[in-house]
Structure 1
């Protein structure tokens, strides 16, 4: 898979910026060509790992037009997300300590407001994989995807009330329901190809999904698409979207252009500009 992005900004003053755009270290073994972060104009870069293990790059962008881009090649099995229908839900007292943070409420996953509704909806479902799938089924059916209704402040409870949103809202609501049911769940963002999907394909974009902890390991669930997909490559994970912004700008600025591409290198004829532009 050839994957990458190009984000263009218009800045009115020199602006500190943190980018989280490189593929997660868990996929380094699949690397064919590194997705190095490149800036135009070139500026000094300093990289570090955050508290969740995500790779972050900090810089000071100059005033004017500024571009961040990556372009890498990663091997992928071409197989759909793994599935384990008999994976068990573990009792809270048996969970590893490092998973407990993913049972707690967070900025966008307001479990305190959703706990009663979660138990009303899912108390009678079978614990484990079946319960998580029931949550995904509910969220997928209850929420309408509408890119024009994206909101940077919408919480899980607001998504349930408004019944609309984008992929991050689907993920936040499903994560909050899982946590209410004592299932550790964390937010993921990254690339999701359209390989194997009916045409016409939606424009390429970054995607959001979740991972839940069942039977001693983390498993991918995607309440937005509600199916096992191929060509999913993780960039970052955290408690919710507040932990994994693709870019964090510390000052005024405007996103003037945005491209994402996920392509099969064996079929690719053009360059990365064949991705989406919005």
Structure 2
């Protein structure tokens, strides 16, 4: 198995303790960085019940995602070479099929931040969220047609539309908390969102939630979900239990 469950290197300095991968039963683990800089753990799982987990405390400023509505959109010839791969089609993002639609739908929107936000608004309003709609093989085109999905489907569709509009976009996976949100709270899960390249840097956009979120913790990023599966198995396996939690630690706990 290959597992991408460790906090991204950009946040490791915020960890109170290492978020080491542990297994029951214990097995040797080999770690390495993939081509996108993500930290990967490689192991051979024994037959029978096998549990993997990570746990840590991370310092977070508790601020919403950064925003700059004046961030400019670069013309393709002015983009750095390292971001060009995030303009191309990928496993779940069929830019060749959705290109004409993207330009018809968003071609009159102002360049830059406003155009990306228009894409997020469209995806958020068009797609109905539900865990019962989860399907590992659903692509952006299928999401457009079926109009249902989970956060990865929202993200793949928004990424594809942005790439069609010559805006580099990449897929991110990690934790998004319910801190600051009104109850009731849905069961916690890993989340997917995107980053787009505007004004010389990458910015977070979240087409599934499309609102202010606190405590967003990045695990991995790539072209789409095919690059950053949380777990990848090279043999038959069955997931029998799955738990994700993000709890706020009180700064001044009552003794």
Q: With the length of structure 1 as denominator, give the TM-score of the two structures.
A: 0.90
1:122 to 95, 99, 106: 106
| CA RMSD after TM alignment | 1.1
Alignment match of 1:139 (pick from 115, 120, 123): 123
How far the C-alpha of 1:228 sits from its partner, in A, is 2.4
Higher RCO structure (Cα 8 Å, ≥6 apart): 1
Hey, what does 2:63 align to over in structure 1? Answer: 79
Q: String of CA shifts for 1:27-71, please: whole Å, max 9, x gaps.
A: 012111211100000000000000000000001010000000000
Aligned to 2:74: 90
3-state secondary structure, aligned to 2:54: strand
Q: Equivalent of 1:183, from 148, 154, 167?
A: 167
| Per-residue deviation, 1:252 | 0.6
Shift of 1:268: 11
Task: Work out whether 1:160 is the aligned partner of 2:144.
Answer: yes
Query: Take 2:147 and 2:93, find their aligned partners in 1: how far apart are those partners?
Result: 15
Q: Which residue of 1 aligns with 2:39?
A: 55
Give the equivalent residue in structure 2 for 1:5: none
**Rounded Cα–Cα distance in structure 2 between residues aligned with 1:267 and 1:216:** 36
SS in 2 for 1:169: helix
| Separation in structure 2 between the aligned mates of residue 77 and residue 84 of structure 1, nearest angstrom | 18
Q: Check the 8 A contact 1:82/1:228 in 2, yes or no.
A: no
Deviations 1:112-157 (A, max 9, x none): 1100000010000000000000000000000000110101110001
Alignment partner, residue 234 of structure 2? 250
After superposition, where does 1:208-247 map in structure 2 within 5 Å? 208-247=192-231
Distance in 2 between residues matched to 1:237 and 1:157, nearest whole Å? 21
Please report how far the alpha carbon of residue 224 of structure 1 lies from its aligned counterpart in structure 2 after TM superposition.
0.1
Determine the C-alpha separation between the residues in 2 that align with 1:29 and 1:116: 43
Runs of 4+ residues deviating >3 angstroms:
none
Per-residue displacement from partner, 1:59-100 (whole Å, max 9, x unpaired)? Answer: 101000000000011000111000101100000000000000
**Alpha-carbon separation, structure 2, partners of 1:267 and 1:54:** 30
More strand by share: 1
TM-score by length of 2: 0.98
Assess, with a 3 A threshold, how the Cα gap between structure 1 residues 100 and 268 changes in structure 2: closer, same or farther.
Answer: farther
Structure 2 unaligned regions, length at least 5? none
SS of aligned partner of 2:181: coil
Partner of 1:194: 178
